[in-house]
Structures are given as C-alpha cells and as structure tokens.
Amino acid sequence: MTTSDQFKADMISLLPRLGRFALSLTRSKPDADDLLQDACSTALSKWTQYDPAHPMDRWMFRIIRNTWISEIRKRKVRVGQGQVPADETDELRVENTADDTILAKQVQGKVANLPAELSQPLMLVCAEGYSYQEVSDLLDVPIGTVMSRIHRARKTLAAAFSQEEYATR
C-alpha cells in the first residue's frame, strides 16, 4: 500500500466522525455534506502537509472547521442594518443569557437542536474525548468559554429532559 493509499483509507474510515463534526458546525445535513466534501477535497490536495506522527482526526477536524469559517464568511449573513460575517452574529456567539428555559423548550432534549456554539464543544469533549485545551485550540475560543459552553449545553439538555419528564407525568 502506498502512503497516499493509507492516507485515503484513513480518511474514509474517519468519514462518520468527520460527518458528525461537520453537522455540529453547520446544524444542517445538506450543508454538512457539502462541507465534508469540500474539506476532504482540501485535505487530498494538502495531503503532503499531513504529519503522520499526529492524529489524522485532529488534522481533518481543523480543515473542516477552517473550511466552514471560510464558507460562512463568504455567505455574509445579513443581520440588522448591514452585512456582517456569520461568525460575528448572535447565532455563533455564546452569552450566558437568562433564557435557558426558553432554549430548553426549543432543544427538547436533543443535541441536534442545541445551538452550534454549545453542541460543538460538548460533542468534542463528550464524544471525541478532547480536552478543554484541545477544544480551545480547535475552535479558537478561550478555554474559559469552552468550559462555560459545555456546562450550558449540559444544563440546557438537563432542563429540557426534566421538562419532558414533567410533561409525560
């Protein structure tokens, strides 16, 4: 097997996890599929830059994340009176607002319904085993923000879960 074949085989075996990460960023299956395809294409074009001494999943996650940032900047989501990059909108900004109860109702105990900024770090820590520092490095947010977002994600899920239990009594 050539080195490039190993690289491709490893990438293919990672596709389910890469797809899950893409979904946590985009919150939309069609967008996640497009993002995954673009990121794989980028990775194939840069495969000589990959250092096999490091985990490939980390490298691919970073490419996916950068590709998505690039994409949302291109889209220039219109907010308020002007056009601003999507990563500067409220949708992608975490704030410790007091309306967790409203959010919990919207989430209904499903991680797929969590806002992206809450589900991304939770997925990386809870499902991928990342440390807070690794999440901070990948998502480019302070480690304290990682900590508070993960906690808020759990609290939101817990609140939604308890509401569902209450409703079914």
Partner 1 sequence: MTDFSIKLSAYLDGELNPVDTKEVEDRLSNDPEAQAEMDALMAADALALEQFDQQLAAPIPMALAKTIKSAPIDRPVRSIASVWGSIAAGLVLFVLGGTGGFMIKDQISPPTTIASAGWLQDISEYHAVYASQGRHLVEVGADEADHIQTWLGNTVGAEFTIPDLSQFGLTFEGGRLLVANAKPVAQLMYRDASGTVIALCLQSRTNQPTPNADFNQTTLNGFDLVSWAANGVNYVVVGPDGRSDLTDIANFAANEV
Which residues bind to partner 1, rule: CB under 8 A? 1-13, 15-17, 19-20, 23, 33, 36-37, 40, 44-45, 47-48, 55, 96, 109-112, 122-123, 125-127, 131-132, 147-148, 150-155, 157-158, 161-162
- Nearer Cβ to partner 1 (11/64): 11
Amino acid at 136: S
- Nearer Cβ to partner 1 (36/72): 36
> Least CB distance from residue 32 to partner 1, whole Å?
10
- Nearer Cβ to partner 1 (51/81): 51
- Nearer Cβ to partner 1 (48/81): 48
